[in-house]
Amino acid sequence: MDKKELFNQFVAFTTAVHQVTHELTQNVKIDNITPVQYKILEYIKVSQPVTPTEISDCQHMSLPNTSRELRKLQERKLIEKISDTEDRRKHYVCLTEDGEKIMGEAFACIEARFQQLIQHASKKDLEDINYALNILDEKVFNPKS
């Protein structure tokens, strides 16, 4: 396969992923949580523990803006900062028990929407989707160098 054609297919695929992600997460309401804060909580949920810099990079936010949003989430007791045992200047961010509960509720809503998307998929289709996701994860998103 031509690598340029593969690249164009990949761009179309990632665009579709963003669209489906938007549709799945649209209107997932958590009391008094802004969309930016939700995205931060979502990232922490799937990647914890993470550093503020990792959050900043992933969310395409400046570090000062990230720090401000993290402070707000910490005041609401949804996240906690943990000092690195080897380097006290470095901090990691994790969800608290309340943060885990809120994200569990949000993910349950998203999962219900996802289940609707795949409700008519055959067993073979589900196996193919699983295989494709594993290959993408292994070869594109998290390749071992």
pLDDT digits (tens, 9 = 90+) for 17-39: 999 988 888 888 787 889 899 99
Q: What is the pLDDT of residue 1?
A: 76
Q: What is the pLDDT of residue 28?
A: 82
Whether residue 90 is predicted with pLDDT greater than 70 in this model: the reply is: yes
Whether residue 125 is predicted with pLDDT greater than 90 in this model: the reply is: yes
**How far, CA to CA in Å, does 84 sit from each of 3, 41, 63, 64, 71?**
42, 20, 19, 20, 18
Cis bond upstream, residue 49 (ω within 30): yes
Distance CA(25)–CA(108), nearest Å, equals: 11
Q: What is the token pair recorded at 90?
A: 């470095």
Put residue 77 in one of left, alpha, beta given phi > 0 → left and psi -120 to 50 → alpha: left
Q: What is the pLDDT of residue 39?
A: 92
